[in-house]
Amino acid sequence: MIIKTNILTCNNHVDLVFQKNAFLNINENKIVNITDNYTGDYKDYTNYLALPGFIDTHTHISQKNIMGLQKPSLLDWLDTYVFPEEEKFTNRNHANAISKSFFDNAIKNGTTCLVAYTTIHREACDIAFENAKKAGIRALIGKVMMDINSPEKLTENASKSIEDSISLYEKWHGKHPLLEYIFSPRFAISCSKDLMKEVGDFIKKNNAYMQTHLSENLDEIANIKSLYPGFKSYADVYYQCNLMGEKSIFGHCVHLTEEEIDLLKGTNSKIAYCADSNFYLKSGEFDIKSAEENGVVFALASDIGAGTSFSMPYHAKMSIYRQSHTQISPAKAFYLMTLAGAEVLSMQDRIGSIEINKEADIVFYDYTGLSVLEPESILSRIIYTDMSSQIKQVMIAGKELI
């Protein structure tokens, strides 16, 4: 497939690359060439602007239906809205409808890759994988693990939770080029040390992905200190359970101590920055400056349903708004929802930018109203205004989906 279009991408965390009237040569799933000249037949997208597909590093499929149902604190919100909603996922039809709608909405908003929690229910997670496969989206999906301090209907036997998670891992790991399993202990409040240690041992042995939540809310942290008095910090619980590492993604990380930042850096663990969600639940402000100065890799996330939009440009805007002391440019926010997301997933050699030899995950916007603007201004317009209706095509691994 040859496409003539206009390309705006970032190939590192600083520099924008802008090419007008470029020819994209896509062979199967990869970009094999980008050139200014081509004499054969091509698909004419000269009225479109090609951006790298957006990457969402932390979201909850099961929480789609409770978006906008707010409580001003994390634990109260979980008890009031999240857990009752997640109990509904024993129903196969409900699980099927929600995950199908979730992926459809993500793709329509330009998200080409996402990292998602489902619920404790093995079948609901399997259904989500099947719907992701049908939708054509790139996704890492995990069954939530909860064996202590949880509602009765959402409390698992630790051995069964691990057995189900490993079974799903074995079913989906390496079986589809766009899909991967990610182990998903919800957080240390709802997971026993035995469960977390067994997960930690498995992910280390198998170089598997893991996601959980860390230091989102002050009441949560106080609860952790009460539950785990023998540990130095919240992050130390995960560290001692062998859950930290290059393929481990920690959501939020709003209230980190210096020692916790050192643990994240020392283990090459990653952070999902949930700006909208942190604001929505009044959790606090993620310290971007500290993360950057200490070399901790992080990227943007929607965190639906505490996040209020499927649009990653919206979350880029919120990441700018939610920084009191650090200036984030539109170009930097663009990086955080594209290439930085790939870096969080250790997939920067495959996705995250429009470059030769990378897989063709691309979002095409209507370029008509943007063509008179400079690259930084184009990104400013896309991020600060709702341009989701101007997304004309979404391509994942070379396949056009809308």
Instruction: Identify the pLDDT of residue 347.
Output: 98
Domain boundary among 253, 285, 310: 310
Q: Measure the CA–CA gap between 291 and 271, rounded to whole angstroms.
A: 9
Specify if 273 maps to a domain: yes
Q: Measure the CA–CA gap between 343 and 6, rounded to whole angstroms.
A: 24
Instruction: Identify the pLDDT of residue 259.
Output: 97
Instruction: Identify the pLDDT of residue 12.
Output: 78
Are 228 and 265 contacting, i.e. CB atoms less than 8 angstroms apart? no
Q: Measure the CA–CA gap between 260 and 385, rounded to whole angstroms.
A: 36
* CATH code, domain carrying 25: 2.30.40.10
The answer to whether residues 218 and 103 belong to one domain is yes
The answer to whether residues 33 and 96 belong to one domain is no
* Count of domains forming the chain: 2
The answer to whether residues 172 and 293 belong to one domain is yes
Range of the domain at 89: 54-310
Specify if 330 maps to a domain: no
Specify if 339 maps to a domain: no
* Ranges of the chain whose pLDDT falls below 50: none
Per the document, the length of the chain is 402
pTM over 0.95: yes
* CATH code, domain carrying 203: 3.20.20.140
Residue 157 gets which letter from DSSP? P
Instruction: Identify the pLDDT of residue 256.
Output: 97
Domain boundary among 255, 287, 310: 310
Query: Which H helix or E strand runs over 261?
Result: helix 258-267
137-194 per-position pLDDT tens digit: 999 999 999 999 999 999 999 999 999 999 999 999 999 999 999 999 999 999 999 9
108-120 per-position pLDDT tens digit: 999 999 999 999 9
The answer to whether residues 284 and 367 belong to one domain is no
The answer to whether residues 9 and 76 belong to one domain is no
Domain boundary among 247, 280, 310: 310
The answer to whether residues 235 and 284 belong to one domain is yes
The answer to whether residues 218 and 293 belong to one domain is yes
Instruction: Identify the pLDDT of residue 14.
Output: 72
Instruction: Identify the pLDDT of residue 11.
Output: 83
